[in-house]
Amino acid sequence: MKASGELSSILHPTGVRTITFGHPAHNSFPAGQLTATVAAIDAAGDDEDTRCILLRSQGEGTFCAGANFDELLTIQDERGGRAFFMGFANLILAMRRCPKPIVVAVQGKAIGGGVGIAAAADYCLATEAASIKLSELAIAIGPFVILPALIRKMGTAAAAELSLDAEWHDAHWAKAAGLYQRVFATPQEMYAAAEALATKLATYSPQASSQLKTTLWHGTSHWPKLLEERAEVSGKLVLTPEARAALAKFKGK
């Protein structure tokens, strides 16, 4: 796997487009990878032959470790901080505005922004190994950018528990909270179910599917401005002495 990450977008004869991301650091997202994924989702949304998107990551280990930690450590000013946190904001916004249904398959652990991807899915399947964790508060930042997606999908109470208790929550907790719709014992079972679901969704009327998605995302038209404001908050917090100390501690592990 390339050090900069990999991304593929493959359209199947069924009308399902599989977008797969990968990075050697537990499928984390450097800035370039986030930009490429946003572009792939936007392109799929504009493609008449694409009827449904299946978003997944490489391998059978971690689904997504969130934003790339090495890049987080290089932030030097508020402008850079805002740009860094806008990475996942732009990905969530791309998933929101895409007129095609997006099925997300979570084969392993999801951390930070990886949880945000699951929350922005129109339908999310996972394995029993797909535990979730938000560690942002522990490094003096807070999961501000992804919180709107979490609250929309899970409700305020579950999102608050996950944000404040910065420890692992298992896949069955995530399903009970509404983040995952179905949980499977193995990746093979999950991928088979995800492909079957995406194939079925691809047979539905594109116009009806688009209108349904618009209706399900009702009340989020303010998100572009909201997520930008949240990125600015995180971009400032990451420069505080508390965050610097916490990041240095994590780097030393």
Residue ranges of the domains in the chain? 6-187
Give 109's DSSP letter.
-
| Average pLDDT of the residues in 33-52 | 97
Separation between Cα atoms, residue 9 and residue 72, nearest integer Å: 27
| Average pLDDT of the residues in 55-63 | 96
pLDDT, residue 137, reads 93
Residue 2 has pLDDT above 80, yes or no: no
Residue 3 has pLDDT above 80, yes or no: no
Query: Average pLDDT over the chain, rounded to whole?
Result: 95
Query: Residues with Cβ < 8 Å from 90, sequence gap 6 or more?
Result: 34, 35, 38
pLDDT, residue 73, reads 84
pLDDT, residue 57, reads 98
- How remote is the C-alpha of 160 from its chain's centroid? 18
pLDDT tens column, 201-242: 999 999 999 999 999 999 999 999 999 999 999 999 999 999
| Average pLDDT of the residues in 183-206 | 98
Query: Residues with Cβ < 8 Å from 109, sequence gap 6 or more?
Result: 61, 62, 63, 65, 129, 130, 131, 132, 133, 168
CATH assignment of 6-187? 3.90.226.10
pLDDT-derived band at 185, boundaries 50, 70, 90: very high
Separation between Cα atoms, residue 65 and residue 26, nearest integer Å: 6
pLDDT, residue 36, reads 96
Query: Residues with Cβ < 8 Å from 194, sequence gap 6 or more?
Result: 54, 56, 103, 105, 125
Residue 7 has pLDDT above 70, yes or no: yes
Q: Taking the model in full, what pTM does it have?
A: 0.96
Separation between Cα atoms, residue 37 and residue 51, nearest integer Å: 18
Instruction: Establish how many alpha carbons lie within 13 A of residue 21's alpha carbon, considering only the half-sphere containing its beta carbon.
Output: 32
First to last CA, the chain: 24
Residue 65 has pLDDT above 70, yes or no: yes
